[in-house]
Amino acid sequence: MEPTETLSADDAGIARAAALLRAGQLVAFPTETVYGLGGDARNDQAVARIFEAKGRPRFNPLIAHVADLEMAETLAVFDAQARALAQAFWPGPLTLVLPLRPEAGISALVTAGHDTLAVRLPAHPVASALLRAFGGPLAAPSANPSGRVSPTRADHVRAGLSGRIAAVLDGGACAVGVESTIVSLGPEPRLLRPGGVPAEALEAALRQPLPAGGSETAPNAPGQLASHYAPGAPVRLGAHAAETGEILVGFGPVKGDLTLSASGDLVEAAASLFHILREADALAGPEGRIAFAPIPEKGLGRAINDRLRRAAAPR
């Protein structure tokens, strides 16, 4: 990959960042919480590159950042409570987990295969300008290698991700320094992750208690334990050929009924994983099984294998 560019937070830098994002590249940008690692939330390949750049071990859900409430409402379904919180705390460090609109066009890697979307309207003026210039939602976890301290300055991003991403949009130090608060609003409000908006302020706006929530088996936002995405059909791993009643999903030299990547490209495999799981499940039917060819345990292969092991676990 080309060396990582450092872009000034002026009109030219923001225009360059937006052009890179439209081309499917990754750009780190400041929010009021921490620097986010942005990629087009509608582009499977771009989102897969986010996981690759971070060395993220699992396909956890990502937050979609938007330019305004109007954009958010084209992606997710807002009820009265969601609108009340958005009006009270947006723009700002609050993420809402809401029902995903089927027509939104969001990559399944952003939602980790769920029917909900984590969405946020950041307050940082540079983030706001970039989102307006880009004209769409940006998936953006913290711009640091997975497991490392979240970055609050551009040099933190460069220290961890230089050479792995296209550019860093330098907007100075982040004011809040901790990630956004995450609240799920269906069917009852739940606090999924403490963050930049205190729970007490949210409870005051909702006029009701906000209990802690989240799921070990099906997290629908970052900051929870890894999800278990399982198709209806049983899954067998490490297959070089299909057995009777199996749909074989190939990779590289192992050919199948479907393939994650005929060329053995792990970014392509990651980008197609959730789509292929669903397609294979439909082909297998109620009595069938799914077999997956071996995936190398390196780079994005670790994340792919993590999800496949969970899909294959006894249930």
Q: What is the DSSP string of 235-299?
A: EE-S-SSPPTTEEEEEBTTB--SEES-TT--HHHHHHHHHHHHHHHHHHHTTT-EEEE----SST
Q: What is the DSSP code (8-state) at residue 10? A: S
pLDDT tens, position by position, 244-259: 999 999 999 999 999 9
CA-based max dimension of the chain: 61
Cα end-to-end span (Å), the chain:
41
**Lowest mean pLDDT, pick from 70-74, 152-156, 295-299:** 295-299
**Is the pLDDT at 217 greater than 90, yes or no?**
no
Q: Please tell me the CATH code under which domain 5-206 is placed.
A: 3.90.870.10
| Confidence band, pLDDT 50/70/90 cuts, at residue 175 | confident
Q: What are phi and psi of 94, to 5 degrees?
A: -130, 125
Rounded to 5 degrees, what angle do the CA atoms 49, 53, 55 make?
A: 115
Domain ranges in the chain are 5-206, 235-312
The answer to whether 110 and 62 have CB atoms below 8 angstroms apart is yes
Kindly state the tokens that stand for 289.
């099984």
pLDDT tens, position by position, 93-116: 999 999 999 999 999 999 988 899
Residues 38 and 29: their CA atoms lie apart, in Å, by: 7
**Is the pLDDT at 227 greater than 50, yes or no?**
no
pLDDT of residue 146: 84
23's CB contacts (< 8 A; 6+ apart) are none
pLDDT of residue 176: 76
Average pLDDT in the chain:
90
The pTM of this model reads 0.83
Q: Which residue did the predictor score with more confidence, 130 or 310? A: 130
The one-letter code for the residue type at 175 is A
Distances from the Cα of 143 to the Cαs of 280, 283, 303, in angstroms?
Answer: 33, 38, 18
**Is the pLDDT at 285 greater than 50, yes or no?**
yes
Residues 297 and 73: their CA atoms lie apart, in Å, by: 39
| Confidence band, pLDDT 50/70/90 cuts, at residue 178 | confident
